Structure 1
Amino acid sequence: MIQLDLIGIGTGNPDHLTLAAVRAINGAEVILLPDKGADKVGLIDLRRTICATVLTRAVPIVEFAMPLRDGAGDYAAAVDAWHHAIARVWQATLAQALPQGGRAALLVWGDPALYDSSLRIAARLMGQGAALAVQVVPGITSIAALTAAHAIPLNPLAGPVMITTGRLLRAHGWPAGADHLVVMLDAGGAFAALDPAGITIWWGAYLGMAHQALEHGPLAAVAPRILARRAALRAQHGWIMDIYLLKRETGDASW
């Protein structure tokens, strides 16, 4: 039996780790770090830094190459095939690292429960008969990091907020029934497809890191600046993770 701890590590700042995360990392027999290739070397470097910062004993670290998702064809089918490929890599990596079983830790960006596939991939392995037990250690989400960076509440007073993706926003526009909208996993500027009238945006990239970038204001005014800044930052660092909150004016001033 292998126990797999899926540990939320926040958005790249070692200060984001909870005490539970630090204990889980130090309690592992092996730590798994996903390598997403040369274009995203900064991501694995941050995970290495986190391990170097919080480890209080020698724990073997195993880096494994993450399969790439096919960007062509049907999106759902491509994601399913990608998850299958990742599950196979996990299985092989765990079998090699812990042939007699034991405890492994996998460092997950943000929180494993929010727009991350780790839990689904682990469930896929268990559904295929793998002797695997999963424990989740929650982490600070990019949503929490965004609202903290801008010092704003996430939701209107006693009101709802919707979380969606850039892909859905670009394809379907503003969701019906929502006035506060968090947009994640945006490949680049889906907000530019909206009519900006009456919309305010709070945008953040590299949240919690030394090179954190923030923008805020009426969408019509700041959208071009965000797009230009995003492109420049991606060119500079080779990768970018950003998120934003959109508020549509409804005449209700409460927040």
Structure 2
Amino acid sequence: MREIHVIGIGAGDPDQLTLQAVKALRSTDVFFLLDKGEVKGDLIRLRRDILDAHLPAGSYRVVEARDPERDRKAGGAAYAPAVGDWRGARAGIYERLIAEELDEGGTGAFLVWGDPTLYDSTLAVLEEVRERGAVEFAYDVVPGVSSVSALAARHRTGLNRVARPVQITTGRRLAEGFPEGVDDVVVMLDAHQAFRRFAEDDMDIYWGAYIGTPDEILVSGPIAEAGPRIERLRAQARERKGWIMDTYLLRRRSARDGRAQDRPARPR
């Protein structure tokens, strides 16, 4: 039986790997890396840097494949089908990689940014491959340091406050309105800076891009003050690198419980 490790590698810093993740790396015969094109070549290089940091040079094998394009313009009722088509195309690539590049009895691995269980498609794609039945394999999941955890740590704050819930959502959902019943909301996958609609509200934002990498950018403060700076820095970074990965925490100031760590750090 072929074995697959799905390894959470943190937000980009090689030091964020857990001991369990390092052990999984060392037991892997083949690493499968999906190339998102020249613009996002940094993502492949960062993965290779992580392997070089934890494995002896020349001791591992890497197989790269081109990641299928997703229709990012699809919205509304077309969004879910577009994601389904993209996952299906990915499943075909995963199936071929496992069948053709991994010997029976061998161990392969997919390196997943952050944590594989949080807004990542790898587990769903592998399940689709298993359901197709063309190639047999078993897999396990190694948790990683998510960008959400790394964001809170870099801003020296907690995700929730005493006796209060925290919600994790997407920019697409936030654009529909601030979630009810919560005062602390983590937002991921926001390509359109949905936080702007709350600039007049009593809220702080803790924002970070390229967290855990040498290009990391952090900004915090009231949305009315920090928002324009975030928009400017985000546009500049995207223009410079051709891509951006960012996330942020929104926090109602009126609901503070008074702890020092709930106060935003000075903008950086």
Q: TM-score, normalised by structure 2?
A: 0.91
| Matched residue type, 1:100 | E
Report the counterpart of residue 120 of structure 1 in structure 2.
Answer: 124
8 Å contact 2:164–2:182 — kept in the other structure? no
For 2:73 and 2:214, locate their aligned partners in 1 and report how far apart those are by CA, in whole Å: 35
Report the counterpart of residue 182 of structure 1 in structure 2.
Answer: 186
* Aligned-partner SS, 1:158: coil
Report the counterpart of residue 60 of structure 1 in structure 2.
Answer: 61
Report the counterpart of residue 51 of structure 2 in structure 1.
Answer: 51
8 Å contact 2:36–2:67 — kept in the other structure? yes
| Matched residue type, 2:155 | H
Which segment drifts farther, 135-144 or 185-194?
185-194
Matches within 5 A, 1:1-255: 1-56=1-56, 58-73=59-74, 74-129=78-133, 130-170=135-175, 172-254=176-258
* Aligned-partner SS, 1:236: helix
8 Å contact 1:156–1:254 — kept in the other structure? no
Deviations 1:15-64 (A, max 9, x none): 01111111111111111111111121111110011111111361111111
| Matched residue type, 2:24 | A
What 5-or-longer segments of structure 2 have no aligned partner?
260-268
* Aligned-partner SS, 1:4: strand
1:231 Cα deviation from its structure 2 partner: 0.5
1:119 Cα deviation from its structure 2 partner: 0.7
* Aligned-partner SS, 1:152: coil
Aligned length: 254
Identity %: 45
| Matched residue type, 1:45 | R
8 Å contact 1:201–1:219 — kept in the other structure? yes
Aligned-residue Cα RMSD (Å) equals 1.4
* Aligned-partner SS, 1:182: strand
What 5-or-longer segments of structure 1 have no aligned partner?
none
1:228 Cα deviation from its structure 2 partner: 0.5
For 2:92 and 2:255, locate their aligned partners in 1 and report how far apart those are by CA, in whole Å: 52
Q: TM-score, normalised by structure 1?
A: 0.95
